Structure 1
């Protein structure tokens, strides 16, 4: 387990308060998840295969910093530097379904949405810890894309996709190190695509990396001002 932010300990209440479902710069959470999928599927290396955080900065732009889950086959521990003032979009566990080939090219949007929803109708468990504190009931944060979206935003005629899953939008965190731990899984079902386990961890150095002495000095300065 990664060590929580020593400079700014997080309580369970503040961990829950760190989340938002409001639009970020006028963009809804559903649209941000569509943008996340375009980002994840169009990088030179798929971010959800990142073993240790070496690809954290790849393709990042705008007010929301995208974190990555996994393909369900390994448990990465990643360490990343995140600029101050960035929201964090966390894919707890999710699915996408898109028109992959000639046989899918005429599938209506409703069918794509239903296909993306199947496993998410069978969530077995989901736990997220921010600085070692639970953020609350993750089941309350199921997000569906707004209708279907072109996989290539610059080409409206590109294949359409639909996304569904459990996502967290974390408000900008205070400067310093923060830990994030995610564990979730779908249940086995005759109607689902099979079970999936999602387990990954992050250490997020907000505003740049700090040393233990930096964190201690910062903590003492906070106490001195109280």
Structure 2
């Protein structure tokens, strides 16, 4: 009988600790949301994004998109921010005046992320890339055709900050030059480690540094998956890769700039 009461006592204590842990997590998120609603900044979105012909921090917009891909592919699957539901890896391999943000690849997510002051943010709304690692039968000049054939199936996208829509996001489509990226062990393409060449084509959003404060950033892109009835032979050999996962989900970032 004494053993029974000891077991029951341990069970009750464990249950109390578990409930306290759940409450602490809920209170933490509630506290963040309350602080955000109290401190949220109304900002002028008309001059929030860099133009695609600009050179942020003396580097071309195009080169920054290439750096985004190099960053995204350099991080192993288990700590890659693209597959992070909470935001705990949002600072992974981030340095310099620009941080990179990614969309959710499997389902809609809400991520909490702290951003250093005076840091610009480059993110994809929708983007594609074709590399020699994925398409070894292509020639370099065909990589751009491949990426464009995927990106042409974008049917829309939107972005908002603090509930305010960022206008004219359709103008931020850009194709890169040929660039290199390196895949580590356990990479998100599930390919052998290697350095390869690629061209990307995508719709981007490149935000200028935000003032200190809290922000809710929402991103979503839509893509129309190709059907078996399509007859455009120029994309036939790219069909296997033409419907990447993750393009019809909403990604929410709860950002604190400090």
SS at match of 2:41: coil
SS at match of 2:56: coil
Match of 2:138? 107
Match of 1:213? none
Query: Which one scores higher on RCO, CA 8 angstroms, separation ≥ 6?
Result: 1
- Cα distance in 2 for residues equivalent to 1:77 and 1:16: 25
SS at match of 2:72: helix
SS at match of 1:25: helix
Match of 1:204? 255
Match of 2:225? 188
- Cα distance in 2 for residues equivalent to 1:113 and 1:56: 29
- Cα distance in 2 for residues equivalent to 1:58 and 1:81: 12
Indicate how the Cα distance of structure 1 residues 5 and 149 shifts in structure 2: closer, same or farther if over 3 A, else same.
farther
Match of 1:151? 181
Match of 1:34? 66
Q: Does 1:130 align with 2:161?
A: yes
Displacement, 1:137? 2.3
Match of 2:22? none
Structure 1 residues 170-215: Cα deviation after superposition (integer angstroms, max 9, x where no partner): 00001010110011111133356237414200011000xxxxxxxx
Which has the higher Rg, Structure 1 or Structure 2? 2
Match of 1:88? 121
Indicate how the Cα distance of structure 1 residues 64 and 92 shifts in structure 2: closer, same or farther if over 3 A, else same.
same
- Cα distance in 2 for residues equivalent to 1:198 and 1:90: 15
**RMSD, matched Cα:** 2.2
Instruction: Tell me if structure 1 keeps the 8 A contact 2:74–2:181.
Output: no
Scaled by the length of structure 2, the TM-score of the pair is 0.70
Displacement, 1:7? 4.6
Instruction: Tell me if structure 1 keeps the 8 A contact 2:214–2:254.
Output: yes
Instruction: Tell me if structure 2 keeps the 8 A contact 1:5–1:177.
Output: no
- Cα distance in 2 for residues equivalent to 1:47 and 1:8: 26
Higher helix share: 2
Indicate how the Cα distance of structure 1 residues 87 and 5 shifts in structure 2: closer, same or farther if over 3 A, else same.
farther
Scaled by the length of structure 1, the TM-score of the pair is 0.80
Point out where structure 1 has 5 or more consecutive residues left out of the alignment: 208-226
Point out where structure 2 has 5 or more consecutive residues left out of the alignment: 1-32, 184-193
- Cα distance in 2 for residues equivalent to 1:59 and 1:194: 28
